[in-house]
Amino acid sequence: MMVTDPISDFLVRLQNASMARKERVSIPFSQMKHSIAEVLAREGYVSDVDSKSKANGVLTLSLVYKDGRPAIQGVKRISKPSRRMYMGVRDVRPVKRGHGLLVLSTPAGIVTGKEARIKRVGGEVLFEIW
């Protein structure tokens, strides 16, 4: 199956698996998805990123649940293939009053909004997650 937007596919698979209370989710591997998964693991949205699966072409993530509720409550894709959205460092703001996460693709790599402000870089706004 050909996917026109691999990042949206990644996010939808994560959200669906989380809402279905799955323990793990498998996603087709790409370096970009792996970088995003590492950021999500650092921020506590997923607990484990299986990097051994790179040879198989599959990225396996372990999902996190807090008090029986999924850590991933919602996801919103901002920059799409049809309309790219960019943000300067001055425009980066907290998501959901600090309870969410903004993920950007910058010259410094895939970073959160908070990391982008610290590193003073802007870039393409990939998505919000809360």
Q: Please report, for the chain, the start and end positions of each structural domain, with discontinuous segments joined by +.
A: 6-69, 75-129
**Rounded-to-integer distance, Cα 31 and Cα 19, Å:** 25
Q: Is the CATH number 3.30.1490.10 carried by domain 75-129?
A: yes
**pLDDT, tens only, 15-64:** 999 999 999 999 999 999 999 999 999 999 999 998 776 778 999 999 99
Mean pLDDT over the full length of the chain: 93
The predicted pLDDT at position 128 comes to 97
The residue ranges of DSSP E strands in 1-129, in sequence order, are 24-28, 46-50, 58-63, 65-66, 69-70, 75-77, 86-87, 101-106, 109-112, 123-129
Please give the model's pTM, rounded to 2 decimal places. 0.91
The predicted pLDDT at position 30 comes to 93
The yes-or-no verdict on residue 117 having pLDDT over 80 is yes
Note the CATH architecture for domain 6-69: 2-Layer Sandwich (3.30)
Q: Which residue in this structure is represented by tokens 């982008």?
A: 116
**pLDDT, tens only, 60-112:** 999 999 999 999 999 999 999 999 999 999 998 988 888 899 999 999 999 99
**Rounded-to-integer distance, Cα 114 and Cα 130, Å:** 14
